[in-house]
Amino acid sequence: MTAERHSFSVRDRDAAASLCVGSGVVRYGGERTAASLERRKPLRPRHRQPLLIATDAVAVDYLQCLVDGWHLQQEVTLVVCPSKDPQAVIEHGLRAGLERGSQRLYAVVECGSRQFWQQLTGQFAKAEFPVQIVACVPTFHIWLMLHFQELTPAIWADAGQLASFLEQPLPVAVTALLQHRESLFITLGDKIEQAVLQAQRLSLLQQRSVPLYPWTNFQELIQFLLKLRDKHNRLQG
């Protein structure tokens, strides 16, 4: 009888063990093994790129040349939305960010007015992760102009002249340079600081007076990328 009871207990133990293995949990002595716990963990990407930039096709070459030129491929993901609609660009970026586990989104859009940018900022203030909307009012052309055209005191002093100046076409020679993707970073490199400073001044004008000027906060994205670049350079030694 003792041998029979022992035989049943062994069979029962083996059956229980086989059930546990089939369910993905291996028990021994009433405890889960470390290996079984590891198998039950959800799969996660080995590396999360913390920053996601979403844009339409207008600004993609400019942004890509900075990401490549400053060696930020491990820190930044750039996604392109097929639509130019600002809300579509933001929503496209949010979906991509959730899929990639991103920690922050910069959505680069063209807005008809600063008021519309403020409306979008409020609309996406409670998104799943932080969203900063980078706007060019009325178009991305404004940001490029700030690189290549230095604004004189006389232009700054006249709202109408300033608006007209920033909305005029780029010089033909500059337009030709911007067509060459392989040399775009070299073309822009030493002019980015001027663009940032002039954009900051443009923002101050908007705050002090009626917002009739062309406007952008693109410099905020550039300053963030510069911090990532400096951090990357320090780590590289």
User: What amino acid occupies position 163?
Assistant: A
In angstroms, the CA 108 to CA 89 distance is: 8
Could you give phi then psi for residue 135, rounded to 5 degrees?
-115, 145
- For residues 72-79, give the mean pLDDT: 94
Q: Which residue has the tokens 């060696």?
A: 71
Spatial CA neighbour of 129 closest among 71, 50, 45: 50
In angstroms, the CA 9 to CA 20 distance is: 16
Chain-centroid distance of CA 142 in Å reads 21
Please answer whether residues 196 and 224 qualify as being in contact, where contact means their C-beta atoms are separated by less than 8 angstroms: no
In what helix (H) or strand (E) does residue 108 lie, and over which residues does it extend?
strand 104-110
Please answer whether residues 192 and 65 qualify as being in contact, where contact means their C-beta atoms are separated by less than 8 angstroms: no
Q: What is the pLDDT of residues 8-66, one digit of tens each?
A: 444 444 444 433 333 333 222 343 443 433 344 334 444 456 789 999 999 999 999 99
Spatial CA neighbour of 146 closest among 205, 200, 198: 198
Check whether 117 has a pLDDT greater than 90. Answer: yes
Q: Is pTM, for the whole model, over 0.85? A: no
Here the tokens at position 34 are 């470390």
What average pLDDT does the structure give for the chain? 80
Spatial CA neighbour of 76 closest among 54, 50, 55: 50
Reported as a pLDDT band with limits 50, 70 and 90, residue 211 is low
